């Protein structure tokens, strides 16, 4: 997702799931491929920590992409600053959250 109205549409859809490390806002929309948005506020920490979180989420998303529902649009937030976060932790949390999404 790149535009402000995409992010707002996902947030206004009102579907939110909370995991151990991530908060996932989602909607099953009109998209033909899964879409990802990442939002990290300055409360999370300095720029290098925010960038690292985004990098980890993108890596987890890429490895899980083929298994995602095709119409899924999601925006991911960090639940709290996690210094010891790894790709495997993010991936397992993402899988657990996506598994909770009801089928259309």
Q: What is the CATH number of the domain that holds 74?
A: 3.30.230.10
Give tens-digit pLDDT for 25-52. 999 988 899 999 999 999 999 999 999 9
Residue 60 lies in a domain: yes
Q: What share of the chain is helix, strand, coil (3-state, %, to 5)?
A: 45, 20, 35
Contact 49, 60 (CB under 8 A): no
Please give the tally of structural domains in the chain: 1
Total-model pTM = 0.90
40 is in which domain, residue-wise?
4-99
Q: What is the pLDDT of residue 37?
A: 95
Task: Give how far Cα 20 sits from Cα of 47, 80, 97, Å.
Answer: 22, 9, 10
56 within some domain: yes
Task: Please indicate, yes or no, if residue 59 is contained in any of the structural domains.
Answer: yes
Structural domain includes residue 104: no
Residue 57 placed within a domain: yes
- CB-CB neighbours of 16 under 10 Å: 13
Closest CA to 33 of 68, 77, 76: 68
Closest residue by Cα to residue 39 from 66, 10, 14, 19: 10
pLDDT bin (cut points 50, 70, 90) of residue 64 is very high
């Amino acid at each position: 997702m790149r535009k402000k109205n995409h992010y707002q549409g996902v947030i206004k859809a009102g579907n939110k799931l909370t995991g151990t490390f991530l908060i996932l806002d989602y909607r099953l929309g009109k998209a033909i491929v899964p879409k990802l948005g990442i939002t990290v506020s300055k409360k999370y920490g300095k720029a290098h920590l925010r960038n690292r979180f985004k990098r980890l989420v993108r890596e987890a998303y890429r490895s899980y992409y083929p298994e995602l529902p095709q119409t899924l649009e999601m925006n991911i937030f960090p639940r709290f600053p996690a210094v010891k976060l790894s790709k495997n932790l993010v991936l397992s949390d993402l899988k657990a959250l996506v598994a909770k999404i009801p089928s259309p």
